[in-house]
Amino acid sequence: MVEECRRLGVKTIAHARGREAVLYSARAGVDVIFHAFEMDDEGLEEIVRKGCVISPALTFLVNTVEFTRPGDPCYQWRPNMNRGDVEVASRMLVKAREAGVPFMVGTDSGFAVTPYGEWHARELEIMVEHLGFAPAEALRATTSGNSGLLREGDAVGRVAAGALADLTVVAENPLEDISSLMRPENITYVYLGGEEVDLAPMPEVQRYSWEQSFRQWGEVYTRQRVAELAC
Ligand SMILES: [Zn+2]
């Protein structure tokens, strides 16, 4: 499949968590491996050899650990299990970073603990806090790193004449506080292809219960809801 994709000029991504899944994905030469939580040294060596990129997407696990509450159906088993997952994953992902593996930034959005439009920047915070990234390094992974996967190629992920001018302008310096990217009031302007995006709140949309991923949670944990619960 990977060979055929390459022949067609299409990138390949594998969602691989377990030791063997990571190893076989790397052997096959997949472009991006999502998670790689339980990779071992053999898998890491293969990743380095084949030049695979890793996208940890740890936000889902960390949010699960931090947001799940006693009333949620998965409270009895999921947070503790995922706490262990984060520890195991961090150990090897730190090693991968030190081995020079390029990282991309994804978030596993769409679950009740990772609703769309809410926690995307949290992955950067996690990379800084759990994986030893410098804020600038995490930002580079998000911009020029992620652009490597897109068909737009060099036109995105950099600020240069002739590029697409997809820009986010922030008030606070994310190099000093990477978490500032999660505060909506800190996002001053967003440009998409040089056009200013209207940042006024979107009208309420109807949500359905089946959007709540496996129904493991009783509600959707938006930034606002999590802030309310913390009070
Ligand atoms: Zn995933």
pLDDT above 80 (res 148)? yes
Residue range 165-192: mean pLDDT, rounded: 95
- For the chain, the average pLDDT equals 93
* pLDDT per position as a tens digit, 122-133: 999 999 999 999
| The token pair that represents 29 in the structure block | 């030469």
| The token pair that represents 176 in the structure block | 């000093």
Distance 198 CA to ligand 1 centre (A): 30
Distance 57 CA to ligand 1 centre (A): 7
**Whole-angstrom distance, CA of residue 137 vs CA of residue 123:** 13
Residue range 167-182: mean pLDDT, rounded: 96
Contact 10, 30 (CB under 8 A): no
Distance 46 CA to ligand 1 centre (A): 21
Distance 165 CA to ligand 1 centre (A): 29
Distance 40 CA to ligand 1 centre (A): 19
Distance 188 CA to ligand 1 centre (A): 31
* pLDDT per position as a tens digit, 51-68: 999 999 999 999 999 999
Token pair 């994905």 is found at 25
Q: What is the pLDDT of residue 212?
A: 63
Residue range 7-23: mean pLDDT, rounded: 96
- Spell out the domain ranges in the chain: 56-230
Distance 33 CA to ligand 1 centre (A): 10
Distance 194 CA to ligand 1 centre (A): 31
* pLDDT per position as a tens digit, 79-98: 999 999 999 999 999 999 99
Residue range 128-140: mean pLDDT, rounded: 96
Q: Left if phi > 0, otherwise alpha if psi is -120 to 50, otherwise beta: which for 29?
A: left
Q: What is the pLDDT of residue 120?
A: 94
Q: What is the pLDDT of residue 213?
A: 64
Q: What is the pLDDT of residue 150?
A: 85
Closest CA to 66 of 129, 159, 154, 15: 129
Buried b (16+ CB within 10 A) or exposed e, 106-117: bbbbebbbbbee
**Whole-angstrom distance, CA of residue 206 vs CA of residue 193:** 29
pTM: 0.91
